[in-house]
Structure 1
Amino acid sequence: MSSSPTPLVLKPAEVAAIQPRNPGDLVVLDASWHMPNSLRKAREDFRKSHILGSYFLDLDEVASSHPLGLKHMMPSPELFAQTCEQFGIRPDSHVVLYDTHGVFSSPRALFMFRSFGHERSSILDGGFPAWRAANLPTAGGEPAPLQRSSYPTAALHPDVVVGYDDIVTNENKDPDQDTSAFIVLDARSQGRFLATDPEPRPGLPSGHIPHSFSLPFQVFLNAPNEVQPYVTLRTPEDMRSSLENVLPRGHLDAILEGRRKVATSCGSGMTAGILWLGLQTLGAKAAIYDESWTGYAMHKLQEKEQKPQ
C-alpha cells in the first residue's frame, strides 16, 4: 500500500484498481443516509444491492447520545474505535466511503474518519450510481462475516467540531470587524435559510444563525445529466468561485490562508459534510457545527420556554 497522502476523493476506476495484499488493506463502506421524510431505507437498499465486498455503516448508530435527541452526532473515541474493529479496519486500512445518492452522506462519514486521525480514507465520487454505471461488480443480500481487527482509541482532533456555546459566543461578534469571529456556512436551501420554506422536521422553525452565509450544498455538486446520470463533486475551481460569490471580499483568502476559521452547518450536520469536503479540497481547514440548525433552533426554543414571563 502506498505511503503517499490518500486522496479525499476517488473515481470508481481508481477504487477498482486498488489491489489489497491482505484482508483489511481496503475496506469499502456504504454510508448512505436519507432525510427523515424520505421513504427510502438505507439498510434495505444495501441488502438489495451494494458494491461487492462492501459493508453498511449506519451513521445514526455510530453516534454519541445527545441531550436533545439529535441523530448522527460525532461518536466518542471509544465507539469509533469499536466500530473500526467490527469492520476489520486497522489504522493503516484504506477506507473508501460511498452512498447511493452519488455524493450526499459519504462526506460526513469521511469527516468522522479524518477527524479521528484516520487519514487513509476517501469517498467514492458519484457513489454507487457511478459504480454501477461503470459496470463494476455488485452484490445483494448480507455480506460475509468480518474478521475483527484491533484499533487503538484515538482522540478527536481539536477544533473540528463546533458546539452551541461556540456558536453563541461567535454570533455576538461582528465578522466584518472582528477577525477572531469564525465564518459559518449554511448548507441548507436558501428558502429554509431565509425562513420562507419550512424545515422538514415538524415543529422546528426555519431561519439562520446570525452572521452566517447561505451556501446550499448543491453548489458544490454536479447535477445528474444524460451523459453522467449521477451526482459528483465539482472542480475545486468551481467551488472556489461559488464561495467568492457568497463571501464578502477578503473572507475567502483569509480562510484559505488560515487567518480565519470556518465552520459548516446544515439541518442536522449531514450535508454540512459536503461543504467541509469542498473546503478541504481547496486546502482550508474547516469545522462542522455538529448540532447544526436543528440543535441551534431547539436550544433557542428551550431558552425561550425557560425565560421568566
Structure 2
Amino acid sequence: MSSVPLLVKPSALAELAKSGVAIFDASWYMPNSPRKAKEEFLLKRIPNAQFLDLDEVASPSEIGLKHMMPSGRQFADACEYWGIEPSTHVVIYDAQGVFSSPRALFMFRAFGHEKSSILDGGLPQWEVEGYPVETGPPLTAVQKTNYPEPSLDENTIRSYQQIAHNASLNPTDPISELVLDARPRGRWVGSDPEPRPGLPSGHIPYSFSLPFSTFLQPNKVPGSDATYSTFLPPRILQEKLVSAVGSDNVEKILKGERSVVTSCGSGMTAGILWLGLKLLGASKIGLYDESWTGYASRESSIVDTGEK
C-alpha cells in the first residue's frame, strides 16, 4: 500500500502546495453536456493548476472510444510536458467534486505513479472552504522533465475478451470476477436508454448494479442551488457495497480472495467505484476500459436485462 493518501482535503492540499506539489484539473463532461471543461479551467482554477485532458492523454480505441488508457510512452510524454517526475506528488481535482478525477488517479496509479491523490470535493470544496482561485491564461512556466517510460500494471485493465469470457463462467466459480456496473440502475436493468444513440441498455451477465452515486455524498454550495459530491466515509461505503453484492462477497473482496472489475458507460465513472474499493482496502481490482459501450456495441455480446 502506498503511504500517499488516495484522498486529500483542501487544507492538506494548501499545505502541499507550499512544497511543490503538481496540481491538475481533470474535469470531464458527457458529450451531451453544455459545459466545456477547458473553457471553465481558464475561467477559474486552483492556483498553479494545469489541465489534464483525459480525451487527449489516451490511446485510440478500435471502436472509436475516447479516454482509453494511454500507452506508457504517451503517459511519459504527458508527464514530461507537465514538468513532473516519478517522485512528484500529483493531486487531481475536478469541477463536479468527485466525477472524473478518480479516472485520472487510476491512470497514474496503473502506471506506478504512487505519489498521486485526488482532492475530495474538488474545486467546489476548495472554494467553499475559502481557498483562493486564479483566472485567465495560466502564467506559471513549466520546465519539461525526463520521465522514464513506465509499464502498465496489466492487472488493472480488462479487455473485451476477458469480460466476455468471465460472463460465460458460473458466478460461483472462484476464478470468476465480480463485475460492478457504475451506470444508473435504469440503464443496467434496460428500462432507460443509453446516452449514446443506437446502443442498447441492459447489462453484462452476472454483473451487479452499483451506480457511482451510491459511493458519493451530495453537498450544496452555500448561497446557491449548485451541488457537488464528496466520498462517503469508508464505513458507509462498505455498507453500500454489502447492499449491492452481499456480505459474503464483500468479505472475500476485502480479504483478497475475490477480484473485482468496475465498469460504466465508457470507463469514466468506473474510476469512482475503483477508488471507493481502494479506500476500503480491496487489492484485486480491475477496470473494464471500454465498459458498456465497448461490450454492447459488439454483436457477439450477450446482453441481459431486468433484475437478477
**TM-score, structure 2 length as denominator?**
0.93
2: CA distance, partners of 1:272 / 1:143:
31
Which of 147, 153, 165 is the aligned partner of 1:157? Answer: 153
Displacement of 1:14: 0.6
1:173 aligned to 2:169? yes
Displacement of 1:298: 1.0
Which letter does structure 2 place at the counterpart of 1:298?
S
SS at match of 1:300: coil
SS at match of 1:91: coil
Q: Is the 8 A contact 1:36 1:201 kept in 2?
A: no
Map of 1:166-245 to 2, 5 A cutoff?
166-175=162-171, 177-225=172-220, 229-245=227-243
Q: Is the 8 A contact 2:204 2:302 kept in 1?
A: no
Which letter does structure 2 place at the counterpart of 1:259?
E
SS at match of 1:231: strand
1:258 aligned to 2:256? yes
Displacement of 1:303: 10
- 1:185-227 residue CA offsets vs partner (Å, 9 max, x unmatched): 0000000001100001111111100000000000100012367
Q: Is the 8 A contact 1:36 1:200 kept in 2?
A: no
Which letter does structure 1 place at the counterpart of 2:106?
F
2:298 alignment counterpart: 299
1: CA distance, partners of 2:221 / 2:104:
29
Which of 70, 84, 92 is the aligned partner of 2:87? Answer: 92
SS at match of 1:295: helix
2: CA distance, partners of 1:230 / 1:170:
35
Which letter does structure 2 place at the counterpart of 1:243?
L
Which letter does structure 2 place at the counterpart of 1:95?
V
SS at match of 1:208: coil
2:306 alignment counterpart: none
Which letter does structure 1 place at the counterpart of 2:185?
Q
Bigger Cα displacement from structure 2, 81-90 vs 137-146:
137-146
Where in structure 1 are there 5+ consecutive unaligned residues?
305-309
Bigger Cα displacement from structure 2, 266-275 vs 11-20:
11-20
How many residue pairs match? The answer is 297
Which letter does structure 1 place at the counterpart of 2:210?
L
Which of 27, 52, 58 is the aligned partner of 2:53? Answer: 58
Which of 19, 37, 40 is the aligned partner of 1:42? Answer: 37
- 1:29-67 residue CA offsets vs partner (Å, 9 max, x unmatched): 000000111010100010111111001000000000111
**TM-score, structure 1 length as denominator?**
0.93
Where in structure 2 are there 5+ consecutive unaligned residues?
304-308
1:31 aligned to 2:26? yes
2: CA distance, partners of 1:19 / 1:51:
10
2: CA distance, partners of 1:238 / 1:91:
34
RMSD over equivalenced CA pairs, Å: 1.7
Displacement of 1:137: 1.7
